[in-house]
Amino acid sequence: MNLLHAIILGIVEGVTEFLPISSTGHLILSVKVLGLLQSDFMKSFEIIIQLGAILSVIVLYWRSLIVNFKTFSLVFAGFVPTAFLGLILYKCIKNILLNNELIVLIALLTGGVLLIIFELLHHEKPDTSLLISDITYKQAFVIGVCQSAAIVPGVSRSLATILGGLALGLRRKVVVQFSFLLAIPTMLSATAYDLSKNASHFTSEQFYFLLVGFVVSFIVALLAIKFLIRYIEKHNFIIFGIYRILIALLFMWGITLTR
């Protein structure tokens, strides 16, 4: 890895973290396109720079968590199932799932098809609350269970939480904002756990690359969040489903050409 690689991957992370297209999946595919090895450091890099994107949520939504205790407790309720499964499956995620490009492509393709079908069938109720604090604890927990599906790279944490929330009858803007907030404890804990396991093995140069990726992803994610909030006011997510299918088919075609 070099400085340019760190910048490119930071941009990819910042753009994709909150869109329903899988940031982890895109990082894995980007690493392959850049000709980098999926080393232990690279796997940690893919996890840790997501914290930069999450910091953008804290900057934009810190009042929601500090001022409103109900919102804070809802986020905690949604975080519990993800934390439980993530802790149990950490080694599987890092040693098996993050190594498998085919899993990423299948997840992208399948998720794209499901997203399109869901959006074509889903009809949002206009009288539903627009406040995160009106989400029930049961709904928050179910959304957290849905988020757990994103341990499979390519599924997308945003996709899982958004579809879960919409299926529960929540408004699109509320679900997206709750997904933003739910990302905070999820990625904070994932980053902290990975650093506790692997930081002692990083070189000073690798820490520098982590810092660059972190800062770049933070800046880009600020813009991506503002874009998504504006976008959902007038559009659904079908375009992202189409994109997921196209990118998966493109890489599958590339794999067949290299064989």
pLDDT of residue 24: 85
pLDDT of residue 233: 82
Q: By the 8 A CB rule, do 49 and 212 touch? A: no
**Tens-digit pLDDT profile for residues 6-15:** 999 999 999 9
Q: Distance between CA 58 and CA 63 in Å, rounded?
A: 9
Q: Which residues of the chain have pLDDT under 50?
A: none
pLDDT of residue 223: 92
Structure tokens of 97? 């799932």
Length of the chain: 259
Helices (H) and strands (E) in the chain, counts: 12, 0
Q: Which residues of 149-171 are buried (b: 16+ CB within 10 A; e: fewer)?
A: bbbbbbbbbbbbbbbbbbebebb
**Tens-digit pLDDT profile for residues 51-75:** 888 888 888 877 766 667 788 899 9
Q: Which residues of 12-49 are buried (b: 16+ CB within 10 A; e: fewer)?
A: bbbbbbbbbbbbbbbbbbbbbeeeeeeeebbbbbbbbb
Q: By the 8 A CB rule, do 47 and 212 touch? A: no
Q: Distance between CA 220 and CA 213 in Å, rounded?
A: 11
pLDDT of residue 96: 63
Q: By the 8 A CB rule, do 24 and 53 touch? A: no
pLDDT of residue 50: 86
Q: Residue 43 contacts by C-beta under 8 Å, 6 or more apart in sequence? A: 94, 98
pLDDT of residue 210: 92
Q: Distance between CA 219 and CA 59 in Å, rounded?
A: 11
Whole-structure pTM value: 0.85
